[in-house]
Amino acid sequence: MSNILDIKELSVAYHTEDGTVYALNNIDLELEDGETLGLVGETGAGKTTLAKSIMRLLPVPPAKIEYGDIIFSGENITDMDDEEIRAIRGNKISMIFQDPMSALNPVLTVGEQIKEAILAHNNISEDEAWSKSLEMLETVGITKNRARDYPHQFSGGMKQRVVIAMALACNPQILLADEPTTALDVTIQAQVLAMMRGLKEKFNTATILITHDLGIVAQMCEKVAIIYAGEIVEVGNVHDIFKNTAHPYTKGLLEAIPSIYADCKRLKPIDGLMPDPTIRHEGCAFSERCIYCDDICIHNQPPAVQSVGTDHKVRCWKPLCSTLS
Amino acid sequence: MINMFSRKIGKERLNRVRSPLEQAASQFKKNKMAVIGLVIIIVLFAVAFFTIIIDFVTNDYIYNNYVINQNLVLRLAPPSASHIFGCDEFGRDLFMRILWGTKYSLFIGIGAILLAMFIGMPIGMVAGYYGGRTDNVIMRLMDVILAVPSMLLAMAIIAALGTSTVNLLIAMSVANIARFSRIARASVMTVKDNEFIEAARAIGANDMEILVKYIFPNAFSPNLVQFTLGIGNSILLVAGLSYLGLGVQPPSPEWGGNPYNSKNIYEGRMAYFSISRYVSCYICRRFQYAWRRAEGCNGSQAEKVGSEFIV
């Protein structure tokens, strides 16, 4: 299968009055057609910045793509002008936002909003667009007769369904889901995820699922990328990441999940905080918190992502399962 | 059996969805002051429309013979059964002049504010939406307008353009543009950072669509409040300009022109003219108070907004 999205050495910085924030550093990422990639990392790691760079939704200024390319089916998104990127947004690449409560326009009915998304990219009549938007509502499990209701008349889970319907209205090739279930409670979360999975199979949309919930990743994704302090520290298929964990940070994340089998009284957190993103670190970004940290880690950048197995890459001086390579 | 019956009714009532208009109407009816305000406004509009229709039907016969026709026999006549407000120094019936003057005050007042809103609001929205240099240039221009008191600015514009009703309208709307653009700018700035604006951008909407369909409806209500405030102010402004001889020209019976014509003679009876203006301003104020109540403010909040408007 071919790569539908190729991100090469992407670096994004926010130039603020208080200094430059290096949000993304040398991100390399590939997404295949129809694949689901989980993007995992803690708050502030740069997950949303990455998604917004792909959509070119970053506020410019202060944000700036310093260098690197985002190649979407042969075209470089970073070079596009406003007109070209608008033709892609919502049409070829669309995004689901974190908080469905605020992602819908309160003064438009939900049917109208989906219609807007359809009309933005298809040269069809209002009536056709309306019937298509009703169809989309049915697809996400909302009955037609609620199309003329306003967002405040829906519950959180229903709103997220509407947001998903909006995102999928033009049958995009890539769907960026930015923590689609973080704002929902667990039962609704399960419903929405099951629905997303069904829709993904139906439309064969490549998905980047941004989350900090490894449970969701295990359930939904084929491939996982772990992001830390604006760098991708480990990427591989979901089985490798969970079983042959190579990066100490990934290991830390996995150990921080409470197990229902093991009889442990306390969670095992990763000590420390993420490094200050305004300071360019000399060595490995994770070195301060890493229990395997050595002199080489503190003073030298870890080698650019190296393979430790098929399709399994890690950016570390001392990968935990280097023997596999 | 009875129980079942009543449950059925209850269910039907629940299923009936009230339209937004019905909901607004029922909210409005609960507010007695609002209803009173609305009734008075309707009366004023009715008076204005009827005078226009009467003029049209009678081919200005009544206007010529009872409103502007001078009758020196009745000069300074006291109030009587046939002339309930008395007559002015040219023997014209004051009650008729007040009735016929309603349309000038009302329509010029509303027209000028509408014009100001239609020009000022888009300017402010563009400034607020794009920010940065665009914002700076536009708002500094608006500051220039704001730096001059609206009365003075209107006088200067009329002095430059000449006295006519159209020029009066232009002068008054220019004086109000800056207010609308400031308010529109501020409300756009609070709305534009919402996630649904970003979501709109993510579905591929362009700036124009975002401004018109997503920002405007969410940022409009402060402008509506300013609109209701502005009507009262601009009625006063028309009256003030007419009083100075820069507004509606005599012999047209404008409310401000009436006291001007007779300012030297009527010391005691000034009250009549003033009262008519006070009443209409008070009505506007009640209306806007009611509007705030209908928008969901509690009484004291709504009163607070109303009190900004100095009658």
pLDDT for B262: 58
- Tell me whether residue A139 is in a domain: no
- Tokens in use for A28? 């390399």
The mean pLDDT value for B31-56 works out to 85
The mean pLDDT value for A92-96 works out to 88
- Tell me whether residue A217 is in a domain: yes
Has the ipTM of the complex gone over 0.85?
Answer: no
For residue A151, whether the previous peptide bond is cis, meaning omega lies within 30 degrees of 0, is no
Taking domain B30-296, whether its CATH number is 2.40.420.20 is answered by no
Nearest alpha carbon to residue B121 among B226, B208, B237: B226
pLDDT band at B306 (very low <50, low <70, confident <90, very high): very low
- Residue A171 DSSP SS3: coil
What residue of A is the nearest CA neighbor of B213?
A108
pLDDT for B63: 78
What range defines the domain where residue A281 resides? 3-105+165-324
The least confident of A247-261, B79-93, B174-188, B190-204 is B79-93
- List C-alpha distances in Å: B67 to A24, A47, A269, B54: 78, 76, 89, 12
CB contact under 8 A, A166 and B217: no
Percent of chain B with pLDDT over 90: 14
Give the model confidence (pLDDT) of B215-271 as tens digits.
Answer: 998 888 888 888 888 887 888 788 788 878 787 777 777 776 666 665 666 555 555
- pLDDT above 60 (res B134): yes
pLDDT for B225: 85
| Contacts of residue B272, Cβ cutoff 8 Å, sequence gap at least 6 | B85, B86, B94, B98
pLDDT for A324: 46
* Gap between the Cα atoms of B235 and B44, Å rounded: 13
What residue of B is the nearest CA neighbor of A89?
B204
What is the least distance, in Å, from the CA of B132 to any CA of chain A? 11
H-helix or E-strand spanning residue A178 = strand A174-178
Instruction: State if pTM tops 0.80.
Output: no
- Tell me whether residue A140 is in a domain: no
- Tell me whether residue A50 is in a domain: yes
* Gap between the Cα atoms of A84 and A151, Å rounded: 30
The mean pLDDT value for B85-90 works out to 73
CB contact under 8 A, B202 and A89: yes
Does residue A205 contact residue A252 with C-beta atoms inside 8 Å? no
Does residue A97 contact residue A42 with C-beta atoms inside 8 Å? no
Give the model confidence (pLDDT) of A25-34 as tens digits.
Answer: 888 888 888 8
CB contact under 8 A, A120 and B194: no
pLDDT for B137: 95
Does residue B75 contact residue B87 with C-beta atoms inside 8 Å? yes
- Tell me whether residue A141 is in a domain: no
Percent of chain A with pLDDT over 70: 96
Does residue A88 contact residue A47 with C-beta atoms inside 8 Å? no
Q: Which of residues 134-193 of A touch B (CB under 8 A)?
A: 163, 166-167, 169
pLDDT for B305: 46
**Residue of B15, B133, B203 for testing the chain A interface, max A β-carbons within 10 Å:** B203
CB contact under 8 A, B201 and A89: yes
Domain borders along chain B are 30-296
Q: Mean pLDDT for chain B?
A: 77
Give the model confidence (pLDDT) of A42-69 as tens digits.
Answer: 888 888 888 888 888 888 778 888 888 8
- pLDDT above 80 (res B18): no
What is the least distance, in Å, from the CA of B191 to any CA of chain A? 10
Does residue A247 contact residue A319 with C-beta atoms inside 8 Å? yes
Domain count within chain A: 1
For chains A and B, count residue pairs whose Cβ atoms are closer than 8 Å.
67
pLDDT band at B311 (very low <50, low <70, confident <90, very high): very low
| Contacts of residue A119, Cβ cutoff 8 Å, sequence gap at least 6 | A126, A129
pLDDT for B182: 92
Q: Mean pLDDT for chain A?
A: 83
What residue of B is the nearest CA neighbor of A97?
B199
Give the domain CATH number at A197: 3.40.50.300
A80 CB within 8 Å of a chain B CB: no
The least confident of A117-121, A244-248, B135-139, B261-265 is B261-265
- List C-alpha distances in Å: B98 to A47, B39, B86: 69, 19, 12
* Gap between the Cα atoms of B116 and B120, Å rounded: 6
Highest mean predicted confidence (pLDDT) among A181-195, B70-84, B250-264: A181-195
pLDDT band at B289 (very low <50, low <70, confident <90, very high): low
CB contact under 8 A, B198 and A97: yes
- Residue A183 DSSP SS3: coil
